[in-house]
Amino acid sequence: MICRSALFALVLVLGNVGGAAAQWTTAQVNAPRVQYRTFPSVAAGTAVSFHIYTPPQYDSQPERRFPVLYWLHGSNSTTTGISTVSNWFGSAMSRGDLPPMLVVFPNGWPNGMYCDAADGTRPVETVIMQELIPHVDATFRTIAERRGRILEGFSMGGYGTGRLSFKYSERFVAASMLGAGPVQLDFTQGPIGTNVPPATRQAIYEDVWNADPAIFFAASPWNLAQVNAQAILGRRLRLRIAVGESDAMLTPNAELHTHLMSLGIPHQWRTYPGVAHEPLLLMQAMGPANWEFYRGALAPCTADLTDVGDTGSGPDNQATVDDMIAFVNAFSDASGCPAPPPTPPAPPSTGLACNLADITDVGDTGAGPDAQLTVDDVIAFVNAFSDGC
């Protein structure tokens, strides 16, 4: 016979298991071009949900593959921002500010911190990195390589963006940390101005990191940047940290910025006057530079060669010298393209593409008149540029 206390304990365990399973699937958000999907997770032991935005070109160009932006939500709600953020990016794509891309909204639990919980009960990091991303690549027409993935998030999502991009820099071409938190070194001491009740903060601390400061630090963007600095540098991760100057997260983000500078990790550091802890206001404050961040990360590795650097100075399918210069500028800023390995010094080459030759002759195949380059010329240039420049 099972005693009453043992039966009660069993009920508690089953209740917790059921509650955990329920947390892995969220309510469906209805928004234009946003789909609600689930997949079976081995790590979670149950179905896991996510939302995904697809642009109109996904339907109209069935042979095309698309880059993916993974947007990590903030704390307390897993779905609140999906409609607003998908509309924000979708509108930018329709205006031509962004290239068409998929936007994936993972389920990071309300306070999952994009970490595998120290007690093993919530493998949020493992589910996203080892299961969700491969599932998206297998299910949708993605550019299933590093050059086709951007990671971005706000608040808790900014913290997750930092820690995951620093730990897995081989998986993402760019990372954008917006109003990121917690990025302070002591989780129990929240920045002045935060409104997280002490009891809630302590509960998160225990649930995610077993209330162990060493576990918290090991998982932090601060430590992961330090441990993986050489890999981040070698892969030329394009990194942005942005925060409002009225945001309580300003000081810890500024300290992280200083730390990254000490490590020699290049990044954009942007602050915006009058902006508090509000994701949409922060993104609006960025202005056109916001879209340049994504285009700079993706353009050199995803553009159709017939449109590379097209400045409009020549007819369709024909590139002018201005177009070539625009292409060179874009390609030379391709932080997502792997840096070549170091090589011993070599005598000056006669290769036109690598020796500051007259740009009117770079890669000239003779297919067009002087100072006018055809698409064949551009392709020849690309082949030369990628061969050791």
Where does the pLDDT of residue 69 fall: very low under 50, low under 70, confident under 90, or very high at 90 and above?
very high
Residues 198 and 126 occupy one common structural domain:
yes
Count of CB atoms situated within 10 Å of the CB of 303: 17
Q: Is there a domain that residue 164 lies in?
A: yes
Q: Is there a domain that residue 12 lies in?
A: no
Q: CATH number of the domain that 152 lies in? A: 3.40.50.1820
Of the three residues 267, 302, 337, the one that is the final residue of a domain is 302
Span 31-54, average pLDDT: 98
Residues 249 and 173 occupy one common structural domain:
yes
Residues 192 and 247 occupy one common structural domain:
yes
Of the three residues 260, 283, 302, the one that is the final residue of a domain is 302
Q: Is there a domain that residue 10 lies in?
A: no
Cis ω for the linkage preceding 198 (within 30 of 0): no
pLDDT(334) > 50 = no
Where does the pLDDT of residue 22 fall: very low under 50, low under 70, confident under 90, or very high at 90 and above?
confident
The encoded tokens of residue 183 equal: 């990025």
Beta bridge partners of 177: 153, 241
- CA dist., res. 272 & res. 342, Å (int): 38
**pLDDT for 89:** 98
Residues 104 and 168 occupy one common structural domain:
yes
Tell the burial category of 294 from Cβ atoms under 10 Å away from its Cβ (0-12, 13-18, 19+).
buried
Of the three residues 284, 302, 320, the one that is the final residue of a domain is 302
The encoded tokens of residue 43 equal: 């790590």
Where does the pLDDT of residue 347 fall: very low under 50, low under 70, confident under 90, or very high at 90 and above?
very low
Q: Is there a domain that residue 101 lies in?
A: yes
Domain membership of residue 372 as a residue range: 305-385
Residues 207 and 317 occupy one common structural domain:
no
Where does the pLDDT of residue 194 fall: very low under 50, low under 70, confident under 90, or very high at 90 and above?
confident
Where does the pLDDT of residue 301 fall: very low under 50, low under 70, confident under 90, or very high at 90 and above?
low
Q: Is there a domain that residue 173 lies in?
A: yes
Residues 63 and 141 occupy one common structural domain:
yes
Tell the burial category of 295 from Cβ atoms under 10 Å away from its Cβ (0-12, 13-18, 19+).
middle
Residues 165 and 242 occupy one common structural domain:
yes
The number of folded domains in the chain is 2
In this structure, what is the dihedral angle of CA atoms 99, 130, 105, 29, given to the nearest 10 degrees? 130
- CA dist., res. 196 & res. 204, Å (int): 10
Question: Comparing C-alpha atoms, which of 258, 73, 78 is closest to residue 183?
Answer: 258
Residues 72 and 217 occupy one common structural domain:
yes
Residues 125 and 76 occupy one common structural domain:
yes
**pLDDT for 312:** 40
**pLDDT for 374:** 53
Residues 241 and 363 occupy one common structural domain:
no
Where does the pLDDT of residue 377 fall: very low under 50, low under 70, confident under 90, or very high at 90 and above?
low
Residues 157 and 81 occupy one common structural domain:
yes
Residues 335 and 209 occupy one common structural domain:
no
Is 116 within 8 Å of 108 (Cβ atoms)?
Answer: no
